[in-house]
Chains A and B, each alone.
Chain A
Amino acid sequence: MIWILLIMSGACYTQDRITVDVNGWINYRLATGALQFDPGPNGAGLAVGMAYPVKGSISGKSSVEFGAAGTGNFMAFTVGLQNESRSPRNRLVGRTGAGVLQGIMLYRPAPLYVWGLDMTSMIGYELKNRSVPGMFAGIRYYGIPGYAKISEVNRFLDLRIGMIYLF
């Protein structure tokens, strides 16, 4: 709740520097296919990303990811936009954003294309050295069109929960 209030509070902050982040998460599958309820653990991932000022509290973000999702392991590149809010009094930092994912599922003899859309929110605590350890949660919908030749279960909606560290 604090998280949502922080984001909604309008305590917007002009991001004045490029930040780099490292994050890791677990996936919990909510649905497969055309949003058919199908809950269950669905892998984990790691990413290295960066955010760069665009205008006011809006920043661009990008990341390189490696993880397990849906039908196997993947490597992907994501880009997106996010809004950053800060509460200087209690040193809280919040970010909410959306992005698109383009990548490959790691298969032999040849990889398969994977695409995705996600929305993520994070909250963190700014340390004296300006780094920010935090947590994030979000949803991601992604699909592996080439896998449709093998199985009808080739699209997934995952809840992602993870830890993040901003530098």
Chain B
Amino acid sequence: MMIVLSCSYLPDEEGTLYEPKTETGDYAIYYSGSIQPENAFIMIPGGLVDPYAYACWIRDLVREDSSFAVVLMKYPSNLAIANIGKVKKIMDELAGFTHWAVGGHSLGGVVAATTLDDNRELFDGLVLMASWSREAADLSDWEGTVLSIYASEDSLATEEEVQENSNFLPAGVQIDSPNIIPDGDRRTYYYRIAGGNHSGFGCYGLQDGDGTPWITSEAQQELMITVMKSYFESLW
């Protein structure tokens, strides 16, 4: 049982090496062009998901927008929850970036929200993918903006759970189009991907217990990329 519970999901496109600009045992950095941008989005993988399972859409995200880099975090056991302080440590190490946003998928989103709550002054934005913040990291009075992306067929982080935990984020607004339009005091943008599921936020096949999607993971990730680009444009 312990062995099964310890298995991580590998990228399903094994065989393809998405070459980052920089890579260490702790992170991989992706951006387009030859000059490192000033802005960086730190991406925290979901629990027991290999970080490179997100490289498929990160590559496309930075290819379409050269104004920011993505720092893909790596964790021992692929469990970010066991090392919440690591993001701050890596930020201190990567002094070349001046503006930061943090985000994550599933359990990685919880870690992202906790990291932000511990270092509120350091971040401009938060991106939650099939995730939420908790009472222990109540961000309802945080003055930054949040993008919360969730999927209708997600059985592991359901729409109901996203809504139930919305109290721990700044007041929000549902957006139907993946184009962010700043909306006064409502600083959390909820974007629902119809037909998507939990596993579609990465490229690692169907996760145990997840719902059956009726759009492809490529289609789900195209929507993610569009809304994230729009969000980062509103930030930086």
Contacts and interface: CB of A to CB of B under 8 A. Distances in A.
Interface of A: 27, 29, 32, 38, 40-44, 66, 68-73, 75, 106-112, 149-153, 156
Given A73-B8, A75-B3, A108-B7, A156 B25 contact: yes
24 contacts: A27-B76, A29-B25, A32-B25, A40-B24, A40-B26, A42-B25, A44-B76, A68-B77, A71-B78, A72-B77, A73-B6, A73-B7, A73-B77, A75-B3, A108-B9, A108-B204, A109-B10, A112-B10, A149-B15, A150-B11, A150-B50, A150-B52, A151-B52, A153-B23
B17 interface: yes
B14 A149 contact: yes
Contacts of B50: 71-72, 107, 150
B24 A38 contact: yes
A150 B28 CA distance: 12
Interface residues of B, number: 26
What secondary structure prevails in chain B residues at the interface with A?
A: loop
Contacts of A107: 7-10, 50
A40 B7 contact: no
A106 B17 contact: no
* Closest 6 pairs (CB-CB, A-B): A43-B76, A68-B77, A73-B6, A106-B7, A68-B76, A72-B8
B9 A153 contact: no
A29 B10 CA distance: 22
B52 A42 contact: no
Contacts of A153: 23-25
Interface string B52-78: 100000000000000000000010111
A108 B8 contact: yes
